């Protein structure tokens, strides 16, 4: 079955064609993303209204480009999978309405997909990942741990109590004047800095060892920058110290969760999974604990439509479809 995936939950409009014969066994025929970094950079973050308006312009050309790259037409497809939440509701509506129009005009089955489910399954685009496994989803909008026991079967073990890790990266980068997107800028700057130059307290959530909290570390950096020490500290050292704190706050609960559920495999996914220090530290900690880490390549860490097509594939393969009356849901639960 050939499946078209459509993703527009935030500021990227994406489309992909995957080929699948059974759940989890997929080949990505084509994948394309229309990125909006240049549009939002001047504001230091994503402006929802601009994101949705730009999706209206780019979504169809992205789909057309993907179909051409895959060497197929709408008539060759077996179904459409589209993100229906969570995300920015205006952005979600563009992709969902587009998917409904294509499904109606071409007589295709359509399923709405939870964006988080896409991230949970994204490592399967390139790796054999036997279930059950533990997944750390870490991005600009989400930071959570899930036990993945089967397709459609997910149990949340821990989540952030305030900011997501990616949000903390972006906000600290803005405080430091590093531009947008902030996570990438901090990762690059931190390569030449000392992780021990600035003492940053690692937050722990009392009574919930698998939960996360990143608002405090963000505030700590803001206060430090306003101090005399902050003015005298090299930006690379501050970036490295901040990044190390966030990475440690992610790694510790992840290893604890893997031990708790007896998971031999840890899937690292989401936009912040592209962070080089997080990938290295989590892989080393897992290896020392007798476990392994699988992570998508960078193009499948950030929002993409291949993971959405994959997440919808197991339902489409068993003949499911959603009605054209389904709506976008900004806070869609998994």
The pLDDT averaged over each successive group of 10 residues in the chain (334 residues) is 97 96 90 92 89 96 98 96 97 98 97 97 94 95 95 96 93 91 93 94 93 94 93 94 97 97 97 96 97 96 96 96 96 93
**Residue 180 pLDDT:** 83
CA of 32: how far to CAs of 53, 183, 312, in Å?
A: 19, 22, 18
- Fold (topology level) of 130-295: Nucleotidyltransferase; domain 5 (3.30.420)
Question: Where exactly are the structural domains of the chain?
Answer: 2-122+301-317, 130-295
**Residue 141 pLDDT:** 86
**Residue 41 pLDDT:** 87
Write down the pTM of the prediction.
0.94
**Residue 27 pLDDT:** 95
**Residue 136 pLDDT:** 98
Give the other-Cβ count within 10 Å of 226's Cβ.
Answer: 11
**Residue 23 pLDDT:** 85
Give the other-Cβ count within 10 Å of 208's Cβ.
Answer: 13
H, E, C per residue of the chain? CEEEEEECCCCCEEEEEEEEEECCEEEEEEEEEECCHHHHHHHCCCCHHHHHHHHHHHHHHHHHHHHHHHCCCHHHCCEEEEEEECCCHHHHHHHHHHHHHHHHHHCCEEEEEEHHHHHHHHHHHCCCCCCCEEEEEECCCCEEEEEEEECCEEEEEEEECCCCHHHHHHHHHHHCCCCCCHHHHHHHHHCCCCCCCCCCCCCCCCCCCCCECCHHHHHHHHHHHCCHHHHHCCHHHHHHHHHHHHHHHHHHHHHHHHHHHCCCEEEEECHHHHCHHHHHHHHHHHHHCCCEEECCCHHHHCCCHHHHHHHHHHHHHCCCCCCCCCCCCCCCCC
- Fold (topology level) of 2-122+301-317: Nucleotidyltransferase; domain 5 (3.30.420)
């Amino acid at each position: 079955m050939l499946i078209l995936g459509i993703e527009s939950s935030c500021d990227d409009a994406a489309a992909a064609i995957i080929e699948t014969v059974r759940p989890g066994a997929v080949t990505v025929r084509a994948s394309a993303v229309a990125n909006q970094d240049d549009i939002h950079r001047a504001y230091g973050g994503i402006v929802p209204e601009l994101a949705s308006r730009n999706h209206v312009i780019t979504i169809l050309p992205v789909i057309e480009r993907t179909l051409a790259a895959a060497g197929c037409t709408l008539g060759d497809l077996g179904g459409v999978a589209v993100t229906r939440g969570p995300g920015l509701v205006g952005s979600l509506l563009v992709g969902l309405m587009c998917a409904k129009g294509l499904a109606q005009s071409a007589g295709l089955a359509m399923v709405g997909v939870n964006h988080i489910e896409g991230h949970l399954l994204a490592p399967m685009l390139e790796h054999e990942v036997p279930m059950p496994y533990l997944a750390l989803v870490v991005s600009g909008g989400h930071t959570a741990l899930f036990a993945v026991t089967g397709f459609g079967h997910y149990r949340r073990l821990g989540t952030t109590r305030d900011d997501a890790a990616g949000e903390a990266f972006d906000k600290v980068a803005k405080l430091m004047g590093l531009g947008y997107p902030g996570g990438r800028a901090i990762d690059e700057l931190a390569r030449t800095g000392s992780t021990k130059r600035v003492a940053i307290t690692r937050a722990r959530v009392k009574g919930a060892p698998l939960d996360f909290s990143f608002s405090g570390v963000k505030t700590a950096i803001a206060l430090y920058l306003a101090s005399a020490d902050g003015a005298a500290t090299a930006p690379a050292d501050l970036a490295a110290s901040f990044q190390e704190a966030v990475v440690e706050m992610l790694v510790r609960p992840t290893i604890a969760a893997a031990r708790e559920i007896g998971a031999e495999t840890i899937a690292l996914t989401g936009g912040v999974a592209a962070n080089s220090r997080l990938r290295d530290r989590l892989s080393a900690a897992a290896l020392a604990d007798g476990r392994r880490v699988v992570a998508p390549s960078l193009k499948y860490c950030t929002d993409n439509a291949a993971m959405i097509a994959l997440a919808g594939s197991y339902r489409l393969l068993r003949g499911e479809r959603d009605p054209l009356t389904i709506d976008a849901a900004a806070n869609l639960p998994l």
